């Protein structure tokens, strides 16, 4: 049956589904109709019959019709066409020009019980403050809430700048998904128990009373029995001044349904980045997500990194597995810290290029920042001097806080500079390389290391550092190392030289009394199976082929 011949009742179901699926249908005041999606307006352009049907359907008018840029009369028209339907609000550009009247119209008290979802972007402090007064305390039908508050770049008036806004919603018993940018809900509100996705993203100044206490956050997160994803940036309990010293050490256990947790910091003009980093680390230390959840701590290099790294991976939480990458784009450094080594070591070849890690793991991302970014306020010479390079060195220095004395597996996922290799493995010291307390390479204390993995982004030349005794030490690195894993062939421009480095590594380690027993070579499915006859008698070469992200054994020789 052709779609144009479908019965009207079937077409109505199709129209409602297609309209709800797309981006908001936007009407721009004073301009020709602009169709940004395949929703109501797009459907109405197909034929006269469809136009008559779509324009007459109140369900479409009540769902994601964005008239935030339009005059009050057009907003009234949309509401009238929506009838008594549940409202799915989408207001993407609320500014002071028409915003005050439109906000009062959409959020009048008689509509509060009908509002099913809110997706709103307010530009400027004036309309943001009005939203906090008008959105309502009781929204019994609200399921999805997205509020994005930003400064209006077209309005230079400093009195129209935004600061953190507390929305007054106190009762929303069926609320499922919450995304808040520069605003929060009351920490004591009856809104959290059904939430599956909670995102709080702050990059404006705020008052101390707006941050949750540890007890308040514990109550909120513990009540979220269906939580799937948690993201918090720049708004943590104040562990620096410890407003609740008697309870601040208690763990906060997240629901077994939780899949992703991210705590992030960003430099904000007027907010101490050092305190933000410290507080985020203390909260990360106290959060207990399920072992299957992805747990990420993103730290700004604009504040001290030592405290938060020590909190999550210091002597009280030694790492058993570690992945290091210092060449993230543009200048970031990422480490993945595993606390359950057997889950990583069960199949080391599968960890070669893995992005998801088994067992209890926390990922730390050190974010470098552009100190001339507008959100940081006027750039001072001192701040500009704290360049990307300096921030990168600060991130390397923070790695000293990771307790690696019980480390069993190490993956090198890519190093930005040869100086990074010197810092980790030893070698001739160069400018801008941080020093450890005893002058030894950072990884010298990993005396229990058993497995070394060099991913595609790592240079095999670093193996040379494992065949000489580093300065300040009396023995080779990694005396217990028994397995090397890498992919072959690799992308090095000089493949023969890289192969020679690998062979030399096994020869010298054996000659120095520290042989490496196993060499796991992982090949791509379409690559040639290269043999390593030169290593016969030096190590057991095990080959496997990468298929669908997992390595399957093909043999040994």
* DSSP per position, 345-378: HTSGGGGSS-SS--SSEEEEEEE---TT-GGG-S
- Please, are residues 394 and 367 in contact by the beta-carbon 8 Å criterion? no
433: phi then psi, degrees, rounded to nearest 5: -105, 120
Q: What's residue 154's pLDDT?
A: 73
- What pLDDT does residue 12 have? 56
Which pLDDT value is given to residue 488?
86
Contact yes or no for 347/551 (Cβ under 8 A) = yes
10 Å Cβ neighbour count for 555?
9
CA distance 322 to 316: 16
By C-alpha distance, which of 181, 246, 179, 248 is closest to 213?
A: 248
Three-class SS of 178-241:
EEEECEECCCCCECCCCCCEEEEECCCCCCHHHCCCHHHHHHHHHCCCCCCEEEEECCCCCCCC
> So what's the pLDDT on residue 433?
63
Nearest Cα neighbor of 88 from 122, 59, 116 is: 116
Task: Per residue of the chain (557 residues), give pLDDT as tens.
Answer: 556 666 655 655 665 555 555 555 555 544 434 444 455 555 555 566 666 666 655 566 666 677 787 778 778 877 877 778 888 888 888 987 778 899 999 999 999 999 999 999 999 999 999 999 999 999 999 999 999 999 987 776 777 889 999 999 999 999 999 999 999 999 999 999 999 999 999 999 999 999 999 999 999 999 999 999 999 999 999 988 765 555 556 899 999 999 999 999 998 877 889 999 999 999 999 999 999 999 999 999 989 999 999 999 999 899 999 999 998 776 789 999 999 988 899 999 999 989 889 899 999 999 988 755 544 455 555 555 457 888 888 999 999 999 999 999 999 999 987 889 989 998 665 555 666 767 789 999 999 999 999 998 888 999 999 999 887 678 899 999 999 999 887 776 678 889 999 999 999 999 999 999 999 999 876 556 678 999 999 999 998 887 655 666 655 65
pLDDT of residue 406: 96
Cα torsion through 149, 150, 156, 157, rounded to 10: 20
pLDDT for the residue numbered 32: 38
């Amino acid at each position: 049956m052709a779609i144009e011949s479908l019965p009207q009742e079937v077409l109505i179901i199709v129209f409602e589904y297609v309209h709800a699926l797309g981006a908001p249908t936007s009407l721009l005041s004073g301009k020709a109709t602009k169709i940004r999606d395949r929703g109501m307006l797009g459907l109405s352009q197909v034929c006269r019959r469809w136009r008559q049907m779509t324009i007459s359907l109140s369900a479409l008018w009540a769902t994601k019709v964005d008239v935030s840029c339009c005059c009050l009369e057009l907003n009234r028209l949309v509401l009238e066409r929506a009838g008594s339907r549940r409202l799915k609000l989408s207001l993407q550009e609320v500014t002071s020009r028409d915003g005050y009247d439109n906000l009062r119209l959409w959020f009048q008290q008689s509509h509060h019980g009908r509002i099913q979802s809110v997706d709103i972007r307010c530009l400027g402090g004036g309309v943001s403050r009005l939203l906090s007064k008008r959105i309502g305390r009781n929204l019994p039908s609200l399921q999805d809430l997205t509020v994005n508050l930003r400064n209006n770049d077209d309005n230079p008036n400093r009195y129209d700048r935004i600061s953190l806004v507390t929305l007054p919603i106190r009762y929303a018993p069926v609320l499922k998904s919450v995304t808040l940018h520069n605003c929060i809900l009351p920490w004591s509100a009856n809104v959290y128990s059904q939430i599956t996705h909670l995102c709080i993203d702050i990059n404006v100044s705020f008052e101390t009373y707006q941050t949750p206490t540890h007890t308040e956050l514990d109550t909120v997160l513990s009540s979220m029995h269906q939580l799937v994803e948690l993201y918090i940036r720049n708004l943590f309990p104040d562990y620096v001044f410890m407003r609740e010293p008697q309870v601040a050490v208690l763990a906060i256990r997240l629901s077994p349904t939780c899949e992703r947790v991210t705590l992030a910091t960003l430099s904000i003009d007027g907010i101490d980045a050092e305190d933000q980093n410290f507080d985020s680390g203390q909260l990360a230390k106290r959060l207990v997500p399920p072992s299957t959840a992805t747990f990420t701590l993103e730290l700004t290099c604009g504040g001290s990194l030592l405290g938060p790294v020590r909190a999550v991976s210091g002597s009280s939480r030694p790492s058993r597995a570690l992945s290091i990458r210092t060449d993230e784009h543009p200048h970031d450094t990422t480490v993945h810290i595993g606390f359950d080594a057997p889950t990583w070591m069960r199949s080391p070849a599968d960890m070669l290029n893995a992005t998801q890690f088994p067992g209890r793991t926390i990922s730390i991302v050190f974010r470098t920042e552009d100190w001339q970014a507008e959100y940081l306020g006027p750039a001072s010479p001192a701040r500009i001097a704290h360049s990307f390079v300096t921030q990168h060195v600060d991130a390397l220095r923070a790695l000293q806080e990771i307790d690696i004395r019980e480390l069993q597996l190490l993956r090198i996922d890519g190093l930005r500079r040869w100086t990074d290799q010197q810092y980790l493995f030893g070698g001739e010291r160069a400018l801008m390389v941080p020093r450890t307390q005893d002058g030894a390479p950072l990884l010298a204390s990993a005396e229990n290391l058993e497995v070394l993995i060099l991913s595609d982004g790592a240079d095999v030349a670093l193996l040379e550092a494992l065949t000489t005794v580093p300065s300040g030490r009396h023995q080779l690195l990694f005396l217990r190392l028994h397995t090397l894993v890498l992919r072959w062939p690799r992308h090095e421009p000089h493949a023969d030289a890289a192969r020679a480095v690998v062979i030399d590594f096994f020869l010298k380690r054996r000659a120095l009394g520290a042989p490496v027993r196993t060499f796991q070579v992982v090949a791509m499915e379409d690559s040639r199976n290269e043999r390593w006859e030169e290593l016969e008698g030096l190590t057991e070469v095990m080959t496997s082929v990468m298929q669908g992200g997992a390595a399957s054994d093909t043999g040994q020789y």
